[in-house]
Structure 1
Amino acid sequence: MKTKKTKIFRIPSFHPVAWGVIIGTFLSRTGFFMTIPFLGIYLGKVKGIDPATIGAILAVSLFVGTLGSFAGGALSDRLGRYPVMIASMAAWSLVFIGFAFADATWLFFVLSALNGLFRSVFEPVARALLADVTPAESRTEVFNARYFAINIGGAVGPLIGLKLGIGGTSSLLPFLVSAAIYAVYAALLIVFMFSFRHMLQSNDEPGATVKQMMKIVFTDKVFLYLLLGNFFVAGAYSHLDTTLSQYIGHDRVAVYSSLFVVNTLCVLLLQYPLTRFMKRYTSLTALKTGCLLFGAGLFGFGLFENTALLFLSMIVFTMGEILCFVVGDVLIGEIAPERLRGAYYGASGFAFLGQSLCAWIGGLLLQGLGFGQGPLIFGILALLALAAFPFFHRGQQLGEHPVGAEPSELSESC
């Protein structure tokens, strides 16, 4: 019996670089969740900006993120993972300082765009680095650990943000603390870069250009359908930080904060058993199930006012989140040719367009229909989430491992 317990509770034997990314992910997401989920509330209550403009400010971050993701993936294949990660993290720290002191509406648009840019440059490269240093048989476990770290940060961050006064009259301290956390992470990355020089990517030939990355998207059919499905899935998730924060947070900040904590705690509790259970099915079956759960959870947010039922809706929503994001990251690692892994993870930033569009649509619906039309608003948003299903289904029909002639030929030509 003792042997079994040791196996169950053992610390995973990931590469030190993987542990560096996972611990850094916890730090960065703590800083992120301290401020950004409350940004819509802060802009409305403190700065007096209307819901439609707030939706546009939040949406521009996600739209610019699409371009950053492609560029970050291409640069990391050419320059190596660490230089791109360090530069983007250091610049991201400065963005939070900007949020602390900004006052004009146009400046929030600029800062939101930069926030999306540096986030989308950094995150695909970090995921590619995790895949680089982790054997294929351990990737589900390492991406589970990364997502676990994200949600530990998601549980701690909002509580710290509320304690520091985010969403109230104070803006300076929460944003400056987030900036300091990001600066610390950039410093840790520099230490890892010099400690593990042998893990830096150094190709004799250049990696994929942005144009070649676009060619990958339209020649790898399963990857294309995965991206199209993720467009709507990412849009569904965007409402947690944007539409839902305005809809509930405009008069019930504590309830919204509690929902956010329920979301992160559910990930911590359900992530491992749910992903283990879904291993008996194909990855795209898990993604199809996830988009259905996303839709059901979103509809519940608009349908219910009772806090317990809102918590239940968040549990359903979170199950969809786990299936779509953890399984999606693993699937990209399976699909991508090794030398183009950064390009594939970068190309996955196409989903940011879905986040941008849906965040904007959510703001328009709140502005046009009013805060009293929750069932109608979130019913529309749920239908948009369900639009992912046929794309995932088509991708499943084409096969689970679609690395074919075109991407291989591209890999040789790079």
Structure 2
Amino acid sequence: MLKTAFQRYINNFRGFSREIWILTLITFINRAGTMVLPFLSKYLKEDLGFSNGQIGSVLACFGIGSLVGSWLGGKLSDKIGFYKIMIFSLLATGVLMFFLQFIHSFIGLCIGMFLMMSIADMFRPAMFVSLGAYAKPENRTRALTLVRLAINLGFAAGPALGGLIIMGIGYNGLFWIDGATCIVAILIFWIKVKEKKKTAFRDKEHPGEVLTHSVFKDKPFLLFMFTCLVTGILFFQVFTTIPLYHKDQFNLTELQTGLLLTMNGLLIFFLEMPIVSYVERNHIDKIKVVALGCFMMAISLFLMLINTWAGILIIMMLFMTFGEMFAFPFSNSVSLSRAPKGHEGRYMAIYTMSYGLAHILSAEIGMHVINLGYQTNWLLMGSLGLVGLFSGIWVYRLVNQENNLKTIKS
């Protein structure tokens, strides 16, 4: 029985090209080194003495940079190719990370975070386009999931190690390691993967369908982006207000906060690919799965209203983790499925921008609302999750109406 289950799990990872595996490896190396993000709010407060409002503003600049970088990455990938954008993005991000540790002023960090994320998040839409180039069409959703697994396995290793580094040599060590892993990761990609000149996105002999309408006139897609925005706002609380709450309410150490994030990463590593395979095998509607993910995130934040028992943090993280596994890989897939052939890059740029906006709103709203009390923030965020749930249900109905009209016309 156990052998059969293990074999079934392994089968989920078959059929990927060499380039996809290398892309997965460099993603893991990069994300394992991304130790600054989970502790950024603590670094700004405890090491630099910033107020909650100032922390919110720095994290908002982080999000604005992410928004700009996502847009630039999508545009430039179509113009000069995803390969060049990926190499430039990670190489420059690594160098900037080295310098960021020496900036201690509020204005300087706002500018530094914006600049770094404008370059760093050019990588994401370019990576999505690369998956379209290096993965077979039938493997694309699983390839997206495989890369997400690498991200989460990296996050599983990173925060716990990051907590130990902070306790041992301080926050500066995180910046050095994060920068070095960006550079090492992209050098491996540059040496092992050759640029693919002709892709489904750039081959003039097979240009795909002509995009006859603006992305911004695709009502179901825009409404779905709102649902994605909400899931992002809720999830990013894990990196903004929640680490502060751990310390203020339960006096948790950086290592204990890191271990909770490690649990999140390990669960995703073992369970997300089987969940994706199960949903695809049984043809379960992916929009409904994303809506369920948003609902589970809402429950997770409502659970934080219980503030007298530290064990609730584990249960909360379990709900957040399952919400993440339902929401994120399938939101990727739904967004790609809405795009006309040959124009996936444009849609994926808008998709990644929705998470850049989520960074801004999550930090700005959360860090200011906790001044009124953490309980107020959990109540607000949980309620926002319910709005996202109803938005997802609305998208499901709109897409069903579209499909019914297509069936009638055909």
Question: Scaled by the length of structure 2, what TM-score is found?
Answer: 0.87
Query: Per-residue displacement from partner, 1:37-71 (whole Å, max 9, x unpaired)?
Result: 10110111111111111111112111222122122
Amino acid at match of 1:248: H
Q: CA deviation at 1:243?
A: 1.2
My pick for the range that moved more, 43-52 or 60-69, is 60-69
Q: Counterpart in 2 of 1:219?
A: 217
Q: How does 1:272-283 map to 2 (within 5 A)?
A: 272-279=273-280, 280=282, 281-283=284-286
Amino acid at match of 2:26: G
Is residue 374 of structure 1 aligned with residue 365 of structure 2? Answer: no
Q: Distance in 1 between matches of 2:247 and 2:388?
A: 28
Q: What is the number of residues matched between the two proteins?
A: 391
Cα 1:342/1:7, change in 2 over 3 Å: same
Q: Counterpart in 2 of 1:21?
A: 23
Q: Counterpart in 1 of 2:108?
A: 107
Q: How does 1:393-408 map to 2 (within 5 A)?
A: 393-399=393-399
Conserved? CA contact 1:85–1:125, under 8 Å: yes
User: Quick one: which of 359, 362, 367 aligns to 2:366?
Assistant: 362
Conserved? CA contact 2:149–2:268, under 8 Å: yes
Q: CA deviation at 1:7?
A: 5.5
My pick for the range that moved more, 78-87 or 100-109, is 100-109
Conserved? CA contact 1:236–1:355, under 8 Å: no
Query: Per-residue displacement from partner, 1:93-116 (whole Å, max 9, x unpaired)?
Result: 122112222221212112221232
Is residue 326 of structure 1 aligned with residue 329 of structure 2? Answer: yes
Q: Counterpart in 1 of 2:243?
A: 245
Amino acid at match of 1:90: L
Q: Counterpart in 1 of 2:96?
A: 95
Cα 1:203/1:264, change in 2 over 3 Å: same
Q: Distance in 2 between matches of 1:140 and 1:204?
A: 25
Cα 1:182/1:5, change in 2 over 3 Å: closer
Conserved? CA contact 1:220–1:402, under 8 Å: no
* Aligned-residue identity in percent: 23
Conserved? CA contact 1:124–1:345, under 8 Å: yes
Conserved? CA contact 1:86–1:190, under 8 Å: yes
Cα 1:59/1:402, change in 2 over 3 Å: farther
Is residue 145 of structure 1 aligned with residue 146 of structure 2? Answer: yes
Conserved? CA contact 2:200–2:342, under 8 Å: no
Conserved? CA contact 2:83–2:195, under 8 Å: no
Is residue 285 of structure 1 aligned with residue 283 of structure 2? Answer: no
Q: Counterpart in 2 of 1:407?
A: none
Amino acid at match of 2:163: L
Q: Distance in 1 between matches of 2:38 and 2:96?
A: 15
Q: Distance in 1 between matches of 2:402 and 2:100?
A: 43
Q: Counterpart in 2 of 1:389?
A: 389
Q: Which runs of 5+ in 2 are unaligned?
A: 404-410
Cα 1:277/1:70, change in 2 over 3 Å: same
Q: Distance in 2 between matches of 1:197 and 1:174?
A: 36
Q: Distance in 1 between matches of 2:348 and 2:185?
A: 21
Following superposition, which runs of at least 4 residues in structure 1 exceed 4 angstroms of deviation?
1-8, 195-205, 400-403
Conserved? CA contact 1:79–1:201, under 8 Å: no
Conserved? CA contact 1:35–1:178, under 8 Å: yes
Cα 1:316/1:3, change in 2 over 3 Å: closer
Give the SS at the match of 1:9. helix
My pick for the range that moved more, 255-264 or 179-188, is 255-264
Query: Per-residue displacement from partner, 1:162-215 (whole Å, max 9, x unpaired)?
Result: 22217x87232221111111011221232245375566964449x9xxxx99x6
Conserved? CA contact 1:295–1:385, under 8 Å: yes
Q: CA deviation at 1:290?
A: 0.6
My pick for the range that moved more, 150-159 or 108-117, is 108-117
Conserved? CA contact 1:154–1:261, under 8 Å: yes
Q: Distance in 2 between matches of 1:204 and 1:117?
A: 30
Cα 1:44/1:8, change in 2 over 3 Å: closer
Q: Distance in 2 between matches of 1:94 and 1:49?
A: 25
Q: How does 1:229-240 map to 2 (within 5 A)?
A: 229-240=227-238
Query: Per-residue displacement from partner, 1:310-343 (whole Å, max 9, x unpaired)?
Result: 1011100111111110111112222222321111
Q: CA deviation at 1:305?
A: 4.1
Q: Distance in 2 between matches of 1:70 and 1:119?
A: 12
Q: Counterpart in 1 of 2:62?
A: 61
Q: Distance in 2 between matches of 1:8 and 1:229?
A: 30
Q: Distance in 1 between matches of 2:349 and 2:192?
A: 22
Give the SS at the match of 1:239. helix
Q: Distance in 2 between matches of 1:174 and 1:7?
A: 38
Q: Counterpart in 2 of 1:408?
A: none
Cα 1:311/1:324, change in 2 over 3 Å: same
Cα 1:295/1:262, change in 2 over 3 Å: same
Q: Counterpart in 1 of 2:299?
A: 296
Q: Counterpart in 2 of 1:409?
A: none
Q: Counterpart in 1 of 2:314?
A: 311
Cα 1:255/1:6, change in 2 over 3 Å: closer
Cα 1:233/1:141, change in 2 over 3 Å: same
Q: Distance in 1 between matches of 2:241 and 2:272?
A: 25
Q: Distance in 2 between matches of 1:6 and 1:94?
A: 42
Q: Distance in 1 between matches of 2:346 and 2:65?
A: 17
Q: Counterpart in 1 of 2:173?
A: 173
My pick for the range that moved more, 23-32 or 115-124, is 115-124
Q: Which runs of 5+ in 1 are unaligned?
A: 404-414
